[in-house]
Structure 1
Amino acid sequence: MTFLWIFEFLLVAGVFFADVLPLRDVLLTIEPKVVQRSSHSTLRCSYDLRNNTLYSVKWYRGRYEFYRYTPSDSPKTKVFPVRGINVDVHNSNSTQVVLRDIDFIVSGNFSCEVTSDGPQFLTGIDTKVMSVVQLPEDLPTIRVEGEPLDYGDILRANCSCPPSRPRATLTFLLNNYTVARSEPLSPRQHQELAWSDLSLELELSEFHFNSGRLILQCIAEMEDIYREEAVLKLGSVRDPVPERVSAFSDATSISSEAALRLVVIINILLMLT
């Protein structure tokens, strides 16, 4: 009897606790999560109401609510003023919010909070991070001094990339081998609009030459949305020089028969004169 009573108690308790569990599978996605300044992004919120009806979906930037969807209200949507947040109301609903004209100040945490209707009023929340960037307006450039280069020489080069936020990460490759890379950015540098520069000073050995050739690349990257490169063929004293050829070796060999015909024509011309 005691075991039966314990079993019934656990069964009832299990049902009770299942009813007060928070909402499952509340998932926020930001597309794109790395946004170019002045462009737009779509925040999507998926959730499982567990056979309950929806009471509300609230959207936050940090701790500030900026959009709410409540199906029982009229109108169903409300927009709250938050600095930098521009909601596209016509394209926002119970599962997504579209933001337009996004500026740097919008970077940070976004949250989607879903609540089911009573009597339980179950709630679930998910948070993701959005980054706002400004891409360089032009390609990176390379400057080199001291050409042509040979074994033992010092290769001095500089790569510059136009202003961006954050600064672009620069990488030097010599004949496809990485020879220099930008230092990681500090938190402050992530908030700056500035040029990116990388200097290279490398003593060259036979290892660095590819059949005497030197191809220098500078790759500029930012987050997952920008990758450009500059490529420069450096002057090298080890670069193979094409063999010199005479004018006769390039021309088609004249056969003996053709030469004989030429002599005959010349003799006829002399007789007519």
Structure 2
Amino acid sequence: MLSLKLLELRVPSHVKLGSQPELACHWELGPQDLLYSIKWYKDGQEFFRHVPRDLEPHRKYYLPGVAVNKSDELASHITLYPATLETAGRYRCEVSGERPLFPTVSEHANMIVVVLPEDGPVISGFNPYYRIGDQLRVNCSSVRSRPAVRLTWYVNGEPAPFTAITSPKVYKDPEGYETTSLALSFQINEQHFVNGGFKIKCLATLASVYWKSNEESARELKTVSQMRIEEKSYNPMKTIELEPNDSNNSRFRLQDIILTLLICVILPKIIFYN
């Protein structure tokens, strides 16, 4: 029964182009075990090893896109040089115990090197004013990434309904970079307007390494009939209701207030001059 155990392998699933990936391999030896070697592989090819009893305990092997920059004494933690597109692949850590059995355990994990867009997502086709009943048709695009980013639409802070979203389109150029676009289309109704306006937002994400958004706002454009209705409903001479009075609980119209002022201010002057 083997007592050597590989407890954990940490390989970042996504790394930015030009960043320095950090890998870790944790193991546990049994009471009678001694470490013979720890070896690192990419796509089945060895690129780094540590053999404690060798005259040269640490040894590197050339592999395109993979080169060890730093390592701890046991090679359980390694840092690679800045990632290139060739750095992507399947990484494996293999730990072996000493003779006579040479027990061996290993684990693997994949790494993807991502190229992030230079700019955030771009919204096109949006207008600053809309009427109730208008058809909103806009497009969001994110240019030159690898792999393609994921686009998500929001309306007034809530995810847009699936019925308003078309399938995303992805275009791949000869260099392998991808441009993604996602359209949003729906008929605007009165529920969309909050305090006279509404907002849409496009969010672009790529795994856990990229998260950028773009937001646009629009105001409601009133129709002629709506403005006429509002004009009719506005009357500057309408009844002004005052707080109920404990003695008479009366209501005064604006005309009554003006008349009272005339009596109190102008009438005494007329009497005085006569």
* CA deviation after TM superposition for structure 1 residue 151, in Å: 2.2
Q: Report SS of the residue matched to 1:105.
A: helix
Residues 204-261 of structure 1, C-alpha deviations (whole Å, 9 max, x = no match):
22333324311111111110111111111123226999x99xxxxxxxxxxxxxxxxx
* CA deviation after TM superposition for structure 1 residue 148, in Å: 2.4
Q: TM-score when scaled to structure 1?
A: 0.72
Which of the pair is proportionally richer in helix?
Answer: 1
- Quick one: which amino acid aligns to residue 42 of structure 2? R
C-alpha distance 109-139 of structure 1, shift in aligned 2 (>3 A): same
State the match for 1:105 in structure 2: 86
**Correspondent of 1:46 among 15, 21, 26:** 26
C-alpha distance 24-55 of structure 1, shift in aligned 2 (>3 A): same
| Matching of residue 95 in structure 1 with residue 76 in structure 2 | yes
**Correspondent of 2:206 among 219, 222, 226:** 222
Contact 2:71–2:78 (Cα < 8 Å) also in 1: no
Q: Distance in 1 between matches of 2:141 and 2:45?
A: 40
Contact 1:169–1:182 (Cα < 8 Å) also in 2: no
**Correspondent of 2:56 among 61, 65, 75:** 75
For residues 127-166 of structure 1, the aligned pairs below 5 Å read 127-145=108-126, 148-166=129-147
State the match for 1:168 in structure 2: 149
State the match for 1:198 in structure 2: 182
- Quick one: which amino acid aligns to residue 139 of structure 2? N
Residues matched between the structures, number? 225
State the match for 2:244 in structure 1: none
Q: Report SS of the residue matched to 2:129.
A: coil
* CA deviation after TM superposition for structure 1 residue 104, in Å: 1.7
Q: Report SS of the residue matched to 2:68.
A: coil
State the match for 1:36 in structure 2: 16
C-alpha distance 61-238 of structure 1, shift in aligned 2 (>3 A): farther
C-alpha distance 89-215 of structure 1, shift in aligned 2 (>3 A): closer
Q: Report SS of the residue matched to 1:235.
A: strand
State the match for 1:65 in structure 2: 46
| Matching of residue 177 in structure 1 with residue 161 in structure 2 | no
Residues 89-143 of structure 1, C-alpha deviations (whole Å, 9 max, x = no match):
5667431221112112222211100000011211111111111101111122212
Q: Distance in 1 between matches of 2:150 and 2:169?
A: 9
C-alpha distance 92-199 of structure 1, shift in aligned 2 (>3 A): farther
Q: Identity over the aligned pairs, expressed in percent?
A: 29
- Quick one: which amino acid aligns to residue 130 of structure 1? M
* CA deviation after TM superposition for structure 1 residue 177, in Å: 2.4
Structure 2: runs of 5+ lacking an equivalent = 235-274
Aligned-residue RMSD, C-alpha: 3.2
Q: Distance in 1 between matches of 2:200 and 2:95?
A: 53
Q: Distance in 2 between matches of 1:184 and 1:49?
A: 50
**Correspondent of 2:99 among 109, 118, 128:** 118
Q: Distance in 1 between matches of 2:3 and 2:68?
A: 28
Q: Distance in 1 between matches of 2:100 and 2:155?
A: 67
Contact 2:165–2:183 (Cα < 8 Å) also in 1: no
- Quick one: which amino acid aligns to residue 188 of structure 2? L
Residues 32-83 of structure 1, C-alpha deviations (whole Å, 9 max, x = no match):
4311011111111110111211100011102111111100111101111212
Q: TM-score when scaled to structure 2?
A: 0.72
Contact 2:127–2:218 (Cα < 8 Å) also in 1: no
State the match for 2:216 in structure 1: 232
C-alpha distance 166-36 of structure 1, shift in aligned 2 (>3 A): same
Structure 1: runs of 5+ lacking an equivalent = 1-17, 245-273
Q: Report SS of the residue matched to 1:224.
A: coil
